[in-house]
Amino acid sequence: MKYKVTQETELLNFLLEATSKKRNDLKKALKFNQVLVNGKSESYHAFLLHAGDEVELGKKPRQDLPFPILYEDKEIIVINKPSGLVSEQTMHNKSETAFMIVNGYLKKKKEKAYLVHRLDQDTSGVMMFVKNKKLYEELTHNWNDYVLERSYQAIVEGTIKKDGRIENYLSENKMQKVYVSNKKGKKAITNYHVLKNVKGYTLLDVFIETGRKNQIRVHMSSLGHPIAGDRKYGAQTNPIRRLALHANIFAFEHPFTHKTMTFKTEMPECFCKVTGKLKK
């Protein structure tokens, strides 16, 4: 059934008012991709709706990609990249990439994707592409002027009790390993907030002010708390059989409309095996 939005509100609140369904039933519908907003699957309970939006309940979207599309319009497409998938081809990695898969999907619609930011191969989460060359050029040339938030969730080894901030310089050696260096490297700033301590691990919200290669991984390792599953940077354990790093929020100001656009994903289910569920 379809419902028309008449005023700005959050998705779950709208569904509670528009339907006779219970909160838990609606949360399950969101979790299992049974809610569409303007024809696109939406699982985030606090997704902001605007007047004129159309919400459909009880129907799964047609899936044209091997991973979820979080948002798509005429100018951008946002995906939830799985761990293990390379963002783009490099000299050292010629395997199938998120960039190739998205472009294959868009080619059917006579559209083209441009890559504006990347995630490490083993990091999952929000990754945005643009379809408009003018928008691509403006974003890439003035990235820091438009990006408002890049946030991650990470499970690190050991117990961290207090929130913190890391500010230093990073360089890369011939083996493609990044390390903390002197001021000849690139400045990198990472902020972290402790969410939970569980059996020798700490779940963190991580907010980066710069986007250096392997930045979060190197910074957490430099504290003596490498990300679980990150053998490259010193992890001794791998409880979820993957790197325990997930990009959960990406927000930017659209250069031409000046609208703030925010994209979010839930913490991966596999993280919960270590940390348990987070309270809403």
Is 120 noted as a catalytic residue in this protein? Answer: yes
Q: Is the dihedral of CA 133, 135, 138, 139 positive or negative?
A: negative
Burial 239-270 (b: 16+ CB within 10 A, else e): bbebbbbbbbbbbbeeeeeeeebbbbbbbbeb
Of the residues 25, 53, 73, 120, only one is catalytic, namely: 120
Burial 131-165 (b: 16+ CB within 10 A, else e): bbeebbebbeeeeeebbeebbbbbbbbeebeeeee
CB distance 45 to 64 below 8 Å:
no
Which residues are annotated as catalytic? 120
